[in-house]
Amino acid sequence: MPDLSNLLQPDRGQSARTIHLVDAKGFDAWLSAQPPRARAAAEAQKLNPTGYASAILPGDGAEDWSVVTVVANVEKLSPWCLAKLAETLPEGSYRVEGREPGPAMYGWLTAQYRFDRYRKSDKASGPRVLLTGEPAKIDETVRLAEVTFKVRDWINLGPNDLGPAELEAAAEEIAQAHGGTLTVTRGDELARGYPMIHAVGKAAGKGRDPRLIEIEWGDPSHPRIAIIGKGVVFDSGGLDIKPAAGMRLMKKDMGGAAHALGLAELVMSRKLPVRLHMLVPAVENSVSGESFRPGDVLQTRKGLTVENSNTDAEGRLILGDAITKAAEKDPELMLDFATLTGAARVALGADLTGLFANSEGLAEELLAAADAEADPAWRLPLWDPYDEMLKSDVADMVNAAEGTPFGGAITAALFLRRFVPEGVQWAHHDIFCWRQSPKPGRPKGADAVSLRATWKVLKDRYGG
């Protein structure tokens, strides 16, 4: 990871190239006010008032130049307004003319992310540094971008390099860095205490055995919160095996765990006045003679029985046991993150997080934060009439509704809700965390989604 703190610097009047901002409504007036050489340069580069368009403008001296870029609204910058420039401009220092970059500092940093674990880029360039007159905002922006880089790295890793043990190592590093307590449950103790986590992960190969990873941190007298992430390091679908196309990106099925780890690190590094309990059930859903089967009736930590109707609906199983454990500590708030259903993607596409919440107030907080942070989410209903779709003839419930292709994201959320105790505010994020095509500040591949919004809610609630 590059030293992101060097990419944002306090503006002390040092030498820097100027970034001019213009939007569609002011474009014509801006262009007409430019000297002839600047107008000629803009026209030669076919600058139009469309998003992210930019042009290099000559200055008075032979080596003097500045850059103009088109944004949606000059008066209200988004995190992504300057991200394209951070990807394309030459190495050097830059300042925005006449205003502070504000939220655009985040995209300036995330645009300079590169995943080069397996292949060195032949397009490497030096750092692009952005100056700001609001130095108090640098630390928070850098911290958030650093966590985003970590989340992207974990998800981008090949599944051969990120199994349950590596998730445990990541959690251990975070816990040690911030004074948290790490607890890992595996083997016979896992089978006894967390039977669904054990059932899903027991088919994995040597060294990739399932486990529940927990971090506890903070003053026990502070409000207790639980952050839970689905840690399926690779999902073959189990005996209900996925087709090749459906399996191709299943290294990202631990994206919920990556988000839980990242959010936990933000909580601890910022010393938020909460008692944190982070839980990651880490498994590989593999195929072997040990695989759990369609028709198996699984025990749960909560005491309910689950008839397994689909081995590819495994994420909700492991989350059920983890939510039960979190509930035993009486948290006032639970947040879970999971790459849970294709149905959410069919409904919402790749960009929108599917948000479920059992509290109107919590839902409103999360949606407002999603809008404020340009970290989009869309609320889906916990529609009670669909609860009957989880009925089983032989057990307390099935894990996936049978006989219908409809409402899959909702029935998955309803399954999880059965493990959430009354009176606990709970939100479930059905995430995708993968960009199929690049956008400024958000390269193709892994990405952090709903992270900034949930972090804002926690800061606003608990005074961080």
Q: Do 319 and 405 touch, CB atoms closer than 8 A? A: no
State which H helix or E strand residue 67 sits in.
Answer: strand 65-70
Residue 301, classified by CB atoms within 10 Å of its CB into exposed (0-12), middle (13-18) or buried (19+), is buried
Q: Do 431 and 370 touch, CB atoms closer than 8 A? A: no
* pLDDT at site 124: 61
* pLDDT at site 403: 85
Helix axis angle, 255-269 to 451-462, nearest 10°? 30
* pLDDT at site 122: 67
Strands 275-285 and 305-307: unpaired
* pLDDT at site 210: 98
Query: What does the block give as tokens for 244?
Result: 């090749």
Spans of the chain below 70 pLDDT: 122-124, 464
State which H helix or E strand residue 262 sits in.
Answer: helix 255-269
Query: Going along 290-423, which residue ranges are E strands?
Result: 297-299, 305-307, 333-338, 353-357, 377-379, 397-398
DSSP-derived letter for residue 65 is E
CA distance 142 to 97: 22
Quick: pLDDT tens for 23-78.
999 999 999 999 999 999 999 999 999 989 999 999 988 889 999 999 999 999 99
* pLDDT at site 435: 96
Catalytic residues: 242, 316
How many residues can be counted in the chain?
464
Quick: pLDDT tens for 418-453.
999 999 999 999 999 999 999 999 999 999 999 999
* pLDDT at site 120: 82
* pLDDT at site 333: 98
pTM for this prediction = 0.96
* pLDDT at site 262: 98
Q: How far is CA 206 from CA 155, 160, 202, 236, 328, in A?
A: 22, 12, 10, 17, 31
CA distance 236 to 107: 34
CA distance 280 to 171: 9
